Amino acid sequence: MKAFAIVVPDNKISMAGFNELKESYEKYGHEDGLEMHEAIELNKVEGYCGGNGLIWNYPWEGQELDMKSGMLKSAYQTADKRKRMSCFLSHWYLWQKCKNLNETILILEHDSRFIKRLPADSTFAKAPFDIIGINDPSMATRKSKIYHDKIQEKIDFFQPVPRIDEYNIPQGLAGNSAYVIKPEGAQLMIDLTQEYGMWPNDALMCYQLVPKLGVTRNFYTRIQGLRSTTTL
């Protein structure tokens, strides 16, 4: 399966992360090349949104009830709004690529690294999910230990994302640093963006809006613990 890694151009932290990601990707013998996908430049975010009819619809401070979904949207720590929007747009662009290719792809962020080889593409093809997280939740999300333990207490190789909060809080993958997405999942994410507007990508990609959102019991990637290029 084709693999794409989102990298912030001209950012030393991001490039160092990508180099480690690429090294780990090759170390475990993945046959398809890892393609670098440059994140949307900050000075182009506004024009990119306008050109594609995209509108940010998530609070920058405090909390807000989304009347359409009934979910409570809580602001993410964000020093520069354009960074958060660029992150979303970079994922959105790859959803479009997945749709246009009409094939399953792997989307990675620069701060992930592989800890074992992925199973054959045919394994993911048989999965009952359209989007599948492969990342170890440890240190990657809030309540990470609970998230981790809920996955490990089940024996299924593929399983729904764990429920760790009240229903009205968006709950998705343990961060979006590494996930497999099928064309059906990509189309849904594109449609959700049109319906609900732009949210942080790991909030919009939640089980409440994405019924076929799953994870693997085995973890194939882990975050590197780099300084954030989105929140700071």
Distance, CA of 157 to CA of 209 (rounded, Å): 23
Instruction: Give the pLDDT score at 155.
Output: 94
Per residue in 84-113, pLDDT tens?
999 999 999 999 999 999 999 999 999 999
Per residue in 154-210, pLDDT tens?
999 999 999 988 789 999 998 899 999 999 999 999 999 999 999 999 999 999 999
Task: State the burial class of residue 12 (Cβ atoms within 10 Å of its Cβ: 0-12, 13-18, 19+).
Answer: exposed
Instruction: Give the pLDDT score at 232.
Output: 60
Instruction: Give the pLDDT score at 170.
Output: 94
Strand residue runs (E) in the chain: 2-7, 34-38, 63-65, 72-74, 105-109, 112-114, 131-133, 158-160, 178-181, 213-216, 221-223
Instruction: Give the pLDDT score at 112.
Output: 95
State what percent of residues in the chain have pLDDT above 90.
Answer: 85
Per residue in 127-149, pLDDT tens?
999 999 999 998 777 778 889 99
Total residue count of the chain as it appears in this document: 232
Domain boundaries 2-223, CATH class: alpha beta
User: If pLDDT is split at 50, 70 and 90, which confidence band does 225 have?
Assistant: confident
Per residue in 26-55, pLDDT tens?
999 888 889 999 999 999 999 999 999 999
User: If pLDDT is split at 50, 70 and 90, which confidence band does 230 have?
Assistant: confident
Tokens of 100: 């246009």
Instruction: Give the pLDDT score at 9.
Output: 87
- Among residues 150, 169, 176, 153, the alpha carbon closest in space to that of 161 is found at 150
Give the pTM: 0.95
What's the rounded mean pLDDT across residues 16-23? Answer: 96
Give exposure, 139-169, as e/b (b: 16+ Cβ within 10 Å): ebbeebeebbebbeeeeeeebbbbebeeeee
Which is higher by pLDDT, 115 or 231? 115
- Domain borders along the chain are 2-223
